A = this chain, B = another copy of it.
Amino acid sequence: MELETKYRIIHNGEKAFGKGPCLLLEKVDKLGSLNKAAGELNMSYSKAWSIINKAEKMFGETLLETHTGGTDGGGSYLTPKAKELIKAYKGFCKEADEVLDELYKKYFRGI
C-alpha cells in the first residue's frame, strides 16, 4: 500500500496549474521551443499552446516569450514569472510529499 497524491492550483473551479503545465514549461526551458517541448511530451502544438495560454490568463502574467527568425530560427523562452512559478510548484510538491509521507505512516500504520 502506498499513498498517491495530486496537487493542482485552481481558479474559479478551473485548473490553472499542476504537474502537466509545470513539466511543459520545464521542457520549453530546456529545449527553447514550445513546438519541441510539445513533441517530447507527445502533445499537439495547439494543446501545449492552450495549456500555456490558460495558465497565463489565470495568473494574469506572461509565461512564455516567443521570438521569431534570427540566426537560431527563433524559439520560446520562459519569463522570470514562469521560472518563479516552476520553482514554487516544485518546492511545494517536494515538501508536501515529504510531510504527507510522514502523515500517511502516522495514520495508516497497522492498517
Contacts and interface: CB of A to CB of B under 8 A. Distances in A.
A88 B106 CA distance: 9
A1 B88 CA distance: 14
Nearest to A104: B92
Contacts of A7: 3-5, 100
Interface in A76-98: 81, 84-85, 88-89, 91-92, 95-96
Interface of A: 1-11, 15-16, 58-59, 81, 84-85, 88-89, 91-92, 95-96, 99-100, 103-104, 106-108, 111
11 contacts: A1-B10, A1-B11, A1-B16, A3-B9, A4-B9, A6-B6, A88-B107, A88-B108, A92-B103, A96-B99, A100-B100
